[in-house]
Amino acid sequence: MARQWPDGESGPLDEVERRQLDAVRRFGTVGSLLLMIGSLGAGAAPVFNPVFQIPVLGLFSRMTTVSLAFAFTGVFMIVLAWLGLGRLSRPGRARVVSVPQMARTLVMWIAPLVFTVPSFSKDVYSYLAQSEIAAMGQDPYTVGPATALGVNHPLTLGVPTMWRETPSPYGPLFLSVGRAVSWLTGDHVVMGVAAHRLVALVGLAMIVWALPRLARRFGVSPVSALWLGAANPLVLFHLVVGVHNEALAIGLMLVGFELALSRMPRVTPDGPFPPWQRGELLWYAIGAAVITLGAAVKIPAALALGFLGVMIARRMGGRWKHLFAVAGGLGVVFGVVLTAASLGSGLGYGWVSTLNTAATIKSWMAPMTALGFGAGGLGILLGLGNHIDAAITVSRLVGAVIGPLIAAKLLLDSFRWKLRPLTGLGVGLGAVLVFGATVQPWYLLWAAVPLAAAAGNTRFRTAAMIVSAGLAVALAPTGATFDGRVFVLPYAYIGAVIVTAIAVAALWRHVPRAQPTPADAVTSGTP
């Protein structure tokens, strides 16, 4: 049995394991450096690429296959380093990585990625264009970049063609932040991307701050939570490299949840239910306000208010009257803060009408859209005519009902003490987004990050590890399609696999070894 230290956690790494940690850190850092270098030619660079004219560095933009091989090698090495770090942070070991060691490792891996050309997505260029529209005094909720800025504007040129005529689907707080970025950087694309990446890093810092605190509160290993929820390759690739505003939205959501629970006493279904503590109501309101700010970036964060309300109602006694009272109070906070964000931004409530903007894209990655494609294709095979659009519309309507119903069932189970509310939040967000009209790889983080702090056992940790690693290596780190040059991918993959295999062989004796652990080692007790 693993020796348990006074705080209930495993002991510090020994000398051999510290050398293994050093090897893992350096392996991942080299991977980040290679991804940074590869992004110079493989990433979603601006149309007017400033690197193109720089000696040596400009060569990468002319060698797509080589650049992509560099980037894929970096991706593979980061994922392998993350898996090795997972072995050293696995709950139930006699000795595990400490929270400061995990944080330092995360900083080492992120440092090179801060200077990476945006990859995996071009969404950051849409952020820049929509923010410039707001900065010019126009309404980004009614006009797209091409109409408001002109098709030849430097910021419009970076926006993918499919999004140039569409209004912004993002909340008023995010566009207010973006407007400040536009005032600072103007139409300088590189500086604008750097500023938005800084915003994403602030969001990631919030996640890193909140995860270990929430994990301890819900009886989960804080190191395991940081490993799965912050050091996850999908976080590094899509929130840092891809510069997605999910970082800010999820960060605010988790910080708000933690702040709200900071004064909540621990209770059980049978009580006792103590009277209100000093400052308790105030911190509930503060936490709810911060969560609402997350929803003012991207609306899915609002679901956290429901599960927070369930926890407050359970703390009061767990009766229906308590739930309705709490729902009313949180509803007031939500309305006031969201109104302040909407009116204070000068943009009003136009964001409500654009929430479904992404649904204009019909992607096979969305299960309900794929179902519609399949049903429509079957109709064509049976000679019933081409009704793919109608089939997709019907399947999406079904998904729009199923997702919220699952979230409602999870809320009810949490209220009845059958489920941890933070677990319900993660699964509920996953259900709403997976059954939604569109699904992107980074949407998984809405579920994975909260669940990292509340996941119940090692089986979930293993499943999440497999899914995260699989998605991380399957997606090309470009942000562009391969129309007419699909041949580039196999050459890049083969080259990256060979180089990665050589690197692993060179460090094989320093690879952390797996240790058997109990299936329920991640958590200890249920709050």
- Could you tell me what percent of the chain has a pLDDT over 90? 52
Confidence of residue 4 (pLDDT cuts 50, 70, 90): very low
**What pLDDT is stored for residue 458 in this prediction?**
75
**What pLDDT is stored for residue 368 in this prediction?**
84
Kindly report which listed range (6-15, 179-188, 191-200, 495-504) carries the lowest average pLDDT score: 6-15
What gap in Å lies between CA 229 and CA 206, rounded to an integer?
12
Confidence of residue 388 (pLDDT cuts 50, 70, 90): confident
The residue ranking higher by pLDDT, 41 or 479, is 41
Q: Which two tokens stand for residue 203?
A: 């969001």
- Residues 88-117 have a mean pLDDT of 90
Confidence of residue 526 (pLDDT cuts 50, 70, 90): very low
Q: Which two tokens stand for residue 151?
A: 């098709």
DSSP character for 356?
T
Give pLDDT tens digits for 327-365: 999 999 999 999 999 999 888 888 888 877 776 777 777
DSSP character for 456?
-
Q: Which of 92, 105, 89, 161 is nearest to 129 (CA)?
A: 161
Q: Which two tokens stand for residue 365?
A: 């990655």
**pLDDT value at 265 more than 50:** yes
Provide the residue type at 420 as one letter.
R
Q: In DSSP terms, which residues pair with 95 in a beta bridge?
A: 11
**pLDDT value at 524 more than 50:** no
Q: Which two tokens stand for residue 515?
A: 């240790």
What gap in Å lies between CA 163 and CA 146, rounded to an integer?
9
At residue 147's C-alpha, the angle toward residues 440 and 442, to 5°, is 10
Q: Which two tokens stand for residue 478?
A: 């470009």
Q: Which two tokens stand for residue 504?
A: 């692993």
**pLDDT value at 520 more than 60:** no
Confidence of residue 15 (pLDDT cuts 50, 70, 90): confident
Residue in the structure block whose two tokens are 């992607």:
363
Q: Is the dihedral of CA 198, 200, 204, 209 positive or negative?
A: positive
Instruction: Indicate the average pLDDT of the chain.
Output: 87
Give pLDDT tens digits for 200-258: 999 999 999 999 999 999 888 999 999 999 999 999 999 999 999 999 999 999 999 99
**What pLDDT is stored for residue 113 in this prediction?**
95
CB count in 10 Å sphere of residue 523 = 20
Q: Is the dihedral of CA 365, 367, 373, 378 positive or negative?
A: positive
User: How long is the chain?
Assistant: 527
Give pLDDT tens digits for 124-174: 999 999 999 999 989 999 999 999 998 888 899 888 888 898 899 999 999
- Plot region of 438 (φ>0 → left; ψ -120 to 50 → alpha; else → beta): beta
Please answer whether residues 296 and 286 qualify as being in contact, where contact means their C-beta atoms are separated by less than 8 angstroms: no
Highest mean pLDDT among 198-212, 377-391, 501-515: 198-212
DSSP character for 257?
H
**What pLDDT is stored for residue 527 in this prediction?**
46
Please state the pTM of the whole predicted model: 0.91
SS3 assignment, position 220: strand
The residue ranking higher by pLDDT, 388 or 179, is 179
Confidence of residue 2 (pLDDT cuts 50, 70, 90): very low
Give pLDDT tens digits for 163-203: 898 899 999 999 999 999 999 998 889 999 999 999 999 99
* Cβ partners under 8 Å of residue 273, min gap 6: 267, 315, 316, 317
**pLDDT value at 441 more than 70:** yes
DSSP character for 482?
-
Count CA atoms within 13 Å of residue 183 on its CB side: 9
SS3 assignment, position 466: helix
What gap in Å lies between CA 449 and CA 500, rounded to an integer?
28
Give pLDDT tens digits for 51-97: 666 666 667 777 888 888 999 999 999 999 999 999 888 887 788 89
Where are the chain's structural domains?
10-116+481-518, 118-349, 362-437
At residue 177's C-alpha, the angle toward residues 174 and 181, to 5°, is 130
The residue ranking higher by pLDDT, 514 or 394, is 394
What gap in Å lies between CA 327 and CA 337, rounded to an integer?
15
**What pLDDT is stored for residue 515 in this prediction?**
62
Residue in the structure block whose two tokens are 């997972």:
86
Count CA atoms within 13 Å of residue 437 on its CB side: 15
Please answer whether residues 249 and 297 qualify as being in contact, where contact means their C-beta atoms are separated by less than 8 angstroms: yes
What gap in Å lies between CA 522 and CA 517, rounded to an integer?
10
- Residues 310-319 have a mean pLDDT of 93
Torsion of CA 483, 488, 490, 493, to 10 degrees: -120
Q: Which of 508, 493, 469 is nearest to 80 (CA)?
A: 469
DSSP character for 457?
S
